[in-house]
Amino acid sequence: MGISLFFSCKSKYPLTAEVSYLRTDAPGVVVVESFGYGNTKEEAEEDCFHTAFQTIFFKGLPKYGGLRLPMIEDQKAIEKEHPHFLRSFYDKREYMQFVTMQGKPVQVNKRNKVEGIKMKKSMAINYVALKKYLEREEIIRKFGY
C-alpha cells in the first residue's frame, strides 16, 4: 500500500484529514485519534498512521497549539524535491520511530464497496523528535535559520 495511497490518482480510498487531538501526555508528545481506509483491516490500520502523519506534516492540528500549523508548508514542493524521503518514510515505516504509544485499532464500519474497511486508532506521536528528524533530513529548516 505505502506511499501510493497518498500520491497516486489511482487510489480508490478517500484522502482525508480525519485526525483529532485527544490530549498531551508529556511535553513534546501529542495523542491523536486517526481514521484509515483499506481493503483489509491491516491496510486500514496502516492508513491510520499515514493519515496522522500526513495531517501533522501538511495540515496541522488546529486544536493543539504546538501543532496548529503544518510542519511542512509546501506539500507539492516536498513531493517534487524529496520523493525519496516520503517513499522511505511510509514504505519502510520510518514513522514508527515517532509513535510512542498506540491503541488497538477499532473497525467503525461494515466493509463496503466505496470505502472498504474504515478503522480508527489512537496513537501518541513524539512531534519534537519528528521535527528534529525533518530538520536533519533537510526537509524543513531549523527555526531561526
The 3-state DSSP composition of the chain as helix, strand, coil percent (nearest 5) reads 40, 25, 35
Q: What is the pLDDT of residue 12?
A: 46
Output the pLDDT for position 11: 43
State the pTM of this model.
0.84
* Residue ranges of the chain whose pLDDT lies below 70: 1-16, 143-145
CA nearest neighbour of 52 among 107, 114, 103, 109: 103
The residue ranges of every structural domain in the chain are 4-136
Half-sphere exposure of 109 (CA within 13 A, CB side): 16
Q: What is the pLDDT of residue 19?
A: 94
| CA 26 – CA 15 distance, rounded (Å) | 30
What amino acid is encoded at 34 in this protein?
Answer: S
